[in-house]
Each structure stands twice: as structure tokens, then as C-alpha cells.
Amino acid sequence: MNYSPHLTFLCLYLFTQRMCIQGRQFNIEVNGSDKLSLPGFENLTAGYNKFLRPNFGGEPVQIALTLDIASISSISESNMDYTATIYLRQRWTDQRLVFEGNKSFTLDARLVEFLWVPDTYIVESKKSFLHEVTVGNRLIRLFSNGTVLYALRITTTVACNMDLSKYPMDTQTCKLQLESWGYDGTDVEFTWLRGNDSVRGLENLRLAQYTIQRYFTLVTRSQQETGNYTRLVLQFELRRNVLYFILETYVPSTFLVVLSWVSFWISLDSVPARTCIGVTTVLSMTTLMIGSRTSLPNTNCFIKAIDVYLGICFSFVFGALLEYAVAHYSSLQQMAAKDRATAKEVEEVNITNIINSSISSFKRKISFASIEISGNNVDYSDLTMKTSDKFKFVFREKMGRIVDYFTIQNPSNVDRYSKLLFPLIFMLANVFYWAYYMYF
């Protein structure tokens, strides 16, 4: 005879009975009508409706919040937001959950589906999620006086409007704002449980580029079309660490400016050397300026402090290149002026000889009239040029005076003055720059 089916049925029956006994011994049982029943507290949730807030139709529910900031993983200037992981704890009193005794009970987080909980949301949140490993990171704790503690672990990305005009010497003010989505001030009132002490963890954070200077909490009102809502605000200030940017951008750009001044000590005749230094420093500054902006692709509309400094450095580097162009051009002009002076002297000698020979011939022709002409008393004003030739001569003379006025008489003075003026003006520009952006 085959007894296998009977033995299998008997084993399944005994296992089912054992599970039912263990289920009765377990402290939580949820029935099919969304009612919560705790062994020993059968009347705790009698008539409980999770769709109605505590004190429905009466005084607003007072919800006290505390925050633990676990981490701020990233702060993005390009997207103007920050990502933080927080522990959000909410406390409120529900008279429908009062029971005898002085104990508190921590319930399975899945039972939150059978309790009324506030519809708190994070204002200006771009995306948020509740951690689910290994189970949903939620906590429900009931106290005998009806107080409910509801805790969540959330990672959220929140918008933070930034003013980058003083980047990288800027201080940004970011906010984390909490508000009820549907219940206005007549139904729900949010408060910080312990004021500024309701927020913990910020003072222990270590961020890559920022230092948290200070933070404080606020309770404000948000007036919207659907009502007047209570809003809790955590406001904190982030000051950027400028040392990294000094080593990466400010020091190299300053060295490039100093390098461009080396050309002032090189002879004007060394055209390849001075041109190479000028062009190299200009191209290097251009590369440095482009590299400083690639990390902020969406904020190019801002004129930042680092852009101002790089613009100053580029102006000095380009000015050093132009200085050599001016000095070299002046040197060529001086050489051309010497050549013109030599040619003019030769031309004047030739003209004098021609005039003297003409006067001698003129004296011989008019000697029959007994007119005695002395070479020392000849009036040369009668020997005039044609009107067109005279106009050309006067025009050339005027233009020559104008050119001589703007011509540098000693080109070596250009380098001599540049050695003094370029460093002096650059130092003054640095003093004004750092004073303005550090203290104003």
C-alpha cells in the first residue's frame, strides 16, 4: 500500500497549523479591511480611518521635525543644485492611537500603509528617492500618549540659485525647504522640534570645494492659490575654498605675465626671441582662459571674478607684445629718419651749387647794363617755385612735422619705461582686484 500522499498531506497540515500558531504569537496582524490590530490592544484602532487626519475638523495637527544631514555628495555650479542624503524625522500626536502604559512600540515599516502620515515634500527638489536596501528605510514608533514617530532616509537633489559673479571667491546660500503638499495651515502646522538644534550633521561634513560657515532654521509661510502653507526652511552658507584655484589658475597666469616682461631685457634687434616670447605667452593665456571656463559650461553668461583676473593678465601679456611692436617700429622709423636726413643734406648741397651757378650766369648776362650784383646781396625770394611745387613742398613739411611729433625719438626708452610701468601697474591692479573681491 502506498502511504506517500497521506504523509505529504499530513506534513502540510501540521506546517500550516504551526505557522498559524506563530502568527498568533506575533505582535502584529493586519486584516483585509485596512484596520490595524495589535495583540493586547484590540481596541486601539477601532474606527480608525487612515484617510482622515488627527483632530479632523478641529485644531491643526502639530508636526515637529528634526533633520540629520548624512552627506552632501555633490554641489553643481553648472546645474545649480546640490545632492544630499538626509534622515527626516516627524513627530505628531494622534489621539486615536493612545494606549495604556508607558512603553513605546517600534512597528514594521510596512505598517505605515495603515496609518495616517503627513504628506511632507521637499520644495524645489529636482529628484528624490527613498532608500530600499535591504528594506524600505522607514521607521514607525508608537508612544502610549498617541505620539507617532515617523523617520525616513532620503536622497534628494535640490535646486540652489547661485551668484557666481565672485567665483571662485564666492559664498553661496542654499536652502532645504519642507512643506505639506495638500494640507494648508488650517490642517497641519509644521515646527522645528528644537529650533537650530533640530538639525545635526552639518558641522561634521567635509566637502571638496566648500566649507560650511553657518546654518540656521526658519519657519515661514507660503501663500499659494490653494491656501496658506507652513514651510520649514534650513538655510546654510557654503564658502568656496579658493586655495585650489590659486594654485591651478591664478599662479600660472601671474607667472605668464611675469614671463612676458622678460622681453623688455632683450635687445630690439633680437626679433625672433622677442616675438617668440610674446606669441607663446599670448597663446598660453588663451588656453588657460578657455580651460577655466570649460568646467562651467552653462554659466558662461556670468562674468566671474576669475574671468576678470584672466582678462587683466591677458591684457598685460598682449600689451607686452604690442610694446615690442611699437619699440621695433620706432627703431625702424629712426633709422629711416637718419637716411632721410643724409639724403636731404646731399640734396641741399646740390641745390646750393645749382643756385650759385645760375646766379653767376645771370650776372654775366646783365653786366652790359652796368648793374652790379653782389653775390652777398642777392634776394633769393625772387627765385620762386611754381605754385603747385610750392604747395607740395609745404604739405610735405607739415606732414613731416606731424610724423616727427608722434615719432619716438629714442626707441630704447620704450623698454626702459616698460620695465618700470608694467610691473607697477600690474601690482596696483592686483591690490584693487583682491581688495574688491575679498572684502566687498
> Cα–Cα–Cα angle for 48, 51, 55, nearest 5°?
70
d(CA 55, CA 62): 10
pLDDT at position 202: 92
Residues 292, 302 contacting (CB under 8 angstroms): no
d(CA 61, CA 64): 10
- The one-character DSSP state at 38 is B
Residues 153, 19 contacting (CB under 8 angstroms): no
Residues 272, 206 contacting (CB under 8 angstroms): no
Q: Would the pLDDT of 378 be above 80? A: no
pLDDT at position 24: 45
Cα 159 to Cα 77, 126, 131, 156, 177, distances in angstroms? 10, 7, 21, 10, 11
Residues 41, 99 contacting (CB under 8 angstroms): yes
Q: pTM to 2 decimals?
A: 0.71
Place of cell 570645494: 209
What number of CA atoms fall less than 13 Å from residue 56's CA on the CB side? Answer: 8
pLDDT at position 13: 52
What proportion of the chain, given as a percentage, has pLDDT over 70? 72
CATH of the structural domain 242-342+401-440, one choice from 3.30.450.20, 1.20.58.390, 1.10.3720.10, 1.10.730.10: 1.20.58.390
Cα 96 to Cα 44, 47, 53, distances in angstroms? 7, 9, 10
d(CA 130, CA 370): 129
pLDDT at position 20: 46
d(CA 199, CA 84): 14
What DSSP string runs through 87-140? Answer: EEEEEEE-GGG--SSS-EEEEPGGGGGGS----EEEETEEEEEE--SSS--EEE
Higher pLDDT, 267 or 426: 426
pLDDT tens digit string along 6-19?
Answer: 544 544 454 445 44
For 62-90, what is the mean pLDDT?
94
Q: Report, at the CATH architecture level, how domain 28-241 is classified.
A: Distorted Sandwich (2.70)
C-alpha cell at 94: 494622534
C-alpha cell at 104: 513605546
d(CA 95, CA 99): 9
pLDDT at position 88: 96
Q: Which residue ranges make up each domain of the chain?
A: 28-241, 242-342+401-440
pLDDT tens digit string along 230-253?
Answer: 999 999 999 999 999 999 999 999
For 328-356, what is the mean pLDDT?
66
d(CA 309, CA 254): 9
Count other Cβ atoms within 10 Å, centred on residue 440.
6
Residues 73, 144 contacting (CB under 8 angstroms): no
Residues 169, 305 contacting (CB under 8 angstroms): yes
- The one-character DSSP state at 375 is G
Q: Would the pLDDT of 258 be above 60? A: yes
* CA pseudo-torsion sign 80, 85, 91, 94: positive
Encode 258-292: b = buried (16+ Cβ within 10 Å), e = exposed: eebbebbeeebeeeeebeebbeebbebbeebbeeb
pLDDT category of residue 267 using cuts at 50, 70 and 90: confident
Average pLDDT, the chain: 81
Task: List phi, psi (to 5°) of 410.
Answer: -125, 95
Place of cell 654775366: 364
